[in-house]
Chain A
Amino acid sequence: MVSNVFLAGREIRRAKLRFGLLAGAVGLLVFLILFQQALLGSLLKSFTGAIENQSGTVLVYGAEARKNVSGSVIPPPLQAAVEAVDGVGASAPLAEATFTVQAAGALTDSSVFGFTPGGPGEPTRLVEGRLPQSPTEAAGSKEDPAFTIGATVTSVNGDVELTVVGLTEGSRFSVAPTLWVTFDGFTALRLAANPDARAVLPSLVALTPAAGTTPEQLAQRVNDEVPGVQALTRDQAVSEAPGVAQVTQSFRLILGLAFLVVAVVIGFFFLILTVQKLPSLTLLRAVGAPVGYLVRALLAQIAFVVAGGLVVGLALTVLAVRGASTGLPIALSPSTAIGSALGVIVLALLGSIVTLLRVARIDPASVVNRPSLGGLA
Chain B
Amino acid sequence: MKLGLIELFRKPARFGVAGASLVLLTVLLLFLGGLLDGLYRSSTGLLRSQRAELVVFSSDARESLIRSRIDPETRAQVEAVPGVQSAGGLGVALVGGRVPGEDELANLAVVGFEKEPNSMPMLDGVLGPDQAFADRTLEAAGVELGQVIEVGAARTPVTVIGWVTDTDFLQQGGFWVQPDTWRRILGESRPDANLPPGTFQVLSLTIEPGADLALVAAAVDAATGTTTTLTRQDAVLALPGIREQNSTFSSIIYVTLFVAGLVVALFFALLTLERIGLYAVFKAIGASTRQIFTGVITQAVVVALVSFVVGAILILLITQVLPTGIPIAFEPARLVQTAIGLVVMSALGAAISLRRVVKVDPASAIG
Q: Which residues of A contact B (CB under 8 A)?
A: 25, 28-29, 31-32, 36, 39, 62-66, 70-71, 73, 75, 97-100, 107-109, 156-157, 175, 190, 193-194, 196-201, 242-243, 245-246, 249-250, 253-254, 257-258, 260-261, 264-265, 268-269, 271-272, 275-276, 325-327, 371, 377
Contact = CB atoms under 8 A, between A and B. Distances in A.
B7 interface: no
Interface residues of B, number: 59
Nearest to A328: B244
B193 A64 contact: no
- Residue among A245, A249, A272 with the highest chain B CB neighbour number at 10 A: A272
B283 to A, nearest CB: 18
A64 B189 contact: yes
16 contacts: A29-B259, A73-B189, A98-B64, A100-B61, A107-B60, A108-B62, A157-B60, A175-B241, A197-B192, A246-B325, A246-B326, A246-B327, A249-B322, A249-B326, A261-B259, A269-B266
B323 A246 contact: yes
B228 to A, nearest CB: 11
Question: From DSSP, what is the main secondary structure of chain A's interface residues?
Answer: helix
Contacts of A261: 21, 24-25, 28, 256, 259, 263
A184 to B, nearest CB: 14
B244 A28 contact: no
Given A28-B255, A73-B189, A260 B24 contact: yes
Given A98-B64, A107-B60, A254 B252 contact: yes
Interface in B237-266: 240-241, 244, 247-248, 252, 255-256, 258-259, 262-263, 266
A223 to B, nearest CB: 14
B96 interface: yes
A242 B27 CA distance: 25
Contacts of A265: 259, 262-263, 266
Given A109-B62, A201-B191, A275-B270, A196 B196 contact: yes
B293 interface: no
A268 B270 contact: yes
B137 interface: no
Interface of B: 17, 21, 24-25, 27-28, 31-32, 35, 60-62, 64, 66-67, 69, 94-96, 105, 107, 152-153, 171, 187, 189-196, 199, 240-241, 244, 247-248, 252, 255-256, 258-259, 262-263, 266-267, 269-270, 273-274, 318, 322-323, 325-327, 367
Contacts of A275: 270, 273-274
Given A39-B248, A264-B24, A271-B270, A201 B326 contact: no
B190 to A, nearest CB: 6
A265 B17 CA distance: 11
B147 to A, nearest CB: 18
Nearest to A269: B266
Nearest to A200: B192
A57 B89 CA distance: 42
Contact of B259 (A25, A107, A197, A245): A25
Given A28-B255, A64-B96, A73-B153, A272 B269 contact: yes
Nearest to B95: A64
B266 A268 contact: yes
Contacts of B194: 194, 196-198
A214 to B, nearest CB: 27
B60 A197 contact: no
Given A197-B193, A199-B191, 16 more contacts: A25-B259, A62-B153, A66-B107, A97-B192, A98-B64, A98-B66, A194-B194, A196-B194, A246-B327, A260-B24, A269-B266, A272-B273, A275-B270, A326-B244, A326-B248, A327-B241
A71 B95 contact: yes
Contacts of B274: 275
B189 A245 contact: no
A164 B170 CA distance: 31
Contact of A257 (B24, B270, B326): B24
A190 B192 contact: yes
- Residue among A249, A258, A264 with the highest chain B CB neighbour number at 10 A: A264
Contacts of B24: 257, 260-261, 264
Q: Which 7 A-B pairs have the closest CB atoms?
A: A257-B28, A268-B266, A64-B96, A198-B191, A199-B191, A156-B60, A272-B270
A187 to B, nearest CB: 9
Contacts of B327: 246
Contacts of B322: 249
Contacts of A64: 95-96, 105, 152-153, 189
Contacts of A199: 191-192
A194 B267 contact: no
A28 B257 CA distance: 12
A25 B191 contact: no
A264 B27 contact: no
A65 B194 CA distance: 17
A182 B237 CA distance: 34
Contact of A100 (B62, B189, B263, B266): B62
B35 A250 contact: yes
Contacts of A194: 69, 192-195
B262 A254 contact: no
A156 to B, nearest CB: 4
Nearest to A198: B191
A54 B339 CA distance: 48
B95 A253 contact: no
Contacts of A264: 17, 21, 24, 263
Nearest to A39: B248
Nearest to A247: B326
A320 to B, nearest CB: 9
Contact of A109 (B28, B64, B69, B96): B64
Contacts of B27: 257
Given A194-B192, A276-B273, A254 B31 contact: yes
Given A65-B96, A196-B195, A377-B367, A253 B255 contact: no
A107 B32 CA distance: 34
A87 B327 CA distance: 39
